[in-house]
Amino acid sequence: MAAPRAPDVAPPGPGAPGIRAPGLRALSFRAVGRLFRGPDGAPFRALDDVTLDCPAGSFTALIGPSGCGKSTLLRIATGLDAPDEGEATIGGAPPRAAARRGEIGVAFQDPALLPWRSVAENIALPLDALGRPRGPAKRRIADLIRLVGLDGFAEARPAQLSGGMRQRVALARALVTEPQVLFLDEPFGALDQILRRQMNLELQRIWRETGATTLLVTHAVDEAAFLADRVVVMAAGPGRIASVVAAPFPRPRGAALLRDPAFHALCDEIGERLFGARAA
């Protein structure tokens, strides 16, 4: 069955003052398909004909039922997995090439910090992986610690931090190579509602300051609508894009937006599409 192709909704550009424009990268998926074998050994389609363009500096949220292929799509975009059909590109190049140049930042639901390393040393991990010296990045690491609101915790160990603080370390770690593209896979899923709201405001601020093209996987409709220029709703069986909804609220977005009837209407619309996608 041919998957419905998502309508092309033009997202608002980065636009806001103060966003770092040069060197940004567009992210693109062209007819991406991925086949896996299920527990019974039979092949199944985890992703079918996924085509999506994320312009440089845009913020896209991916939402969809569990198992619809969101993480698989992110793994393909970061070069950790390869598609069986189609391709993903970052700035026109294969994701692995972009990753080798440190152009990609990734944070997952589990912050996965090394317990014996300090906050600053955990943030430096991607530099070690790329074989880059830490010395010149010292200033950057200090700036990132401030950016994510962890002033005074550079030498703390993960065990001394709250869940929200660990998530912020993971976010800083994702930003340490000054990535042009940021991938976040349910980074706040384990946090309570109040912390999640706070992290959403911080993520918006960080996105505006860095200007990185951002793809966020979330299962929270309000988080998607609050943060993104566009919300991509996926459906399962096979994993595919069901629809794309623009979230054209002006930025910066604050707590007042959460009480705005237009925001609630958009959340309802996304919820309906999500529910429709589930029922399909």
Ligand X SMILES: Nc1ncnc2c1ncn2[C@@H]1O[C@H](COP(=O)(O)OP(=O)(O)O)[C@@H](O)[C@H]1O
| Pairing between β-strand 43-54 and β-strand 104-108 as defined by DSSP bridges | unpaired
33 binds ligand X (CB under 6 A): no
Q: What single letter denotes the amino acid at residue 23?
A: G
Binding partner at 36 among ligand X, Mg ion, none, C-beta below 5 to 8 Å by kind: ligand X
User: Helix, strand or coil for residue 50?
Assistant: strand
User: Helix, strand or coil for residue 39?
Assistant: coil
Which stretch in 11-19, 62-70, 141-149, 160-168 sits in contact with ligand X by CB under 6 A? 62-70
Q: Could you tell me the smallest distance in angstroms from the CB atom of residue 86 to ligand X? A: 16
Among 252, 264, 159, 157, which residue's Cα sits nearest to residue 209? 252
Q: Could you tell me the smallest distance in angstroms from the CB atom of residue 64 to ligand X? A: 6
71 binds Mg ion (CB under 5 A): yes
- Report the C-alpha gap between 260 and 266 in whole angstroms: 10
232 binds ligand X (CB under 6 A): no
Binding partner at 46 among Mg ion, ligand X, none, C-beta below 5 to 8 Å by kind: ligand X
Token pair of 2 as six digits? 């041919």
Site size with ligand X, rule: CB under 6 A = 11
Contact between 215 and 27 (Cβ < 8 Å): yes
Q: How many Cβ atoms sit within 10 Å of the Cβ of residue 2?
A: 7
Which stretch in 66-74, 90-98, 205-213, 240-248 sits in contact with ligand X by CB under 6 A? 66-74
| Residue of the chain from 70, 168, 208, 273 that contacts ligand X (CB under 6 A) | 70
**For Mg ion, which is the closer residue by CB, 81 or 209?**
81
Q: Could you tell me the smallest distance in angstroms from the CB atom of residue 60 to ligand X? A: 15
72 binds ligand X (CB under 6 A): yes
Length of the chain in terms of residues written: 280
> Distances in Å between the alpha carbon of 42 and those of 3, 24, 35, 37, 209?
21, 41, 10, 5, 46
Q: Could you tell me the smallest distance in angstroms from the CB atom of residue 238 to ligand X? A: 9
Q: Could you tell me the smallest distance in angstroms from the CB atom of residue 29 to ligand X? A: 14
| Terminal CA-CA length for the chain | 13
82 binds ligand X (CB under 6 A): no
218 binds Mg ion (CB under 5 A): no
Contact between 112 and 166 (Cβ < 8 Å): no
Q: Could you tell me the smallest distance in angstroms from the CB atom of residue 17 to Mg ion? A: 35
**For ligand X, which is the closer residue by CB, 57 or 239?**
239
- Report the C-alpha gap between 97 and 79 in whole angstroms: 8
Binding partner at 179 among ligand X, Mg ion, none, C-beta below 5 to 8 Å by kind: none
Contact between 185 and 164 (Cβ < 8 Å): no
Q: Which residues make up the interface to ligand X (CB under 6 A)?
A: 36, 46, 64, 66-72, 239
* Chain contacts with Mg ion (rule: CB under 5 A): 71
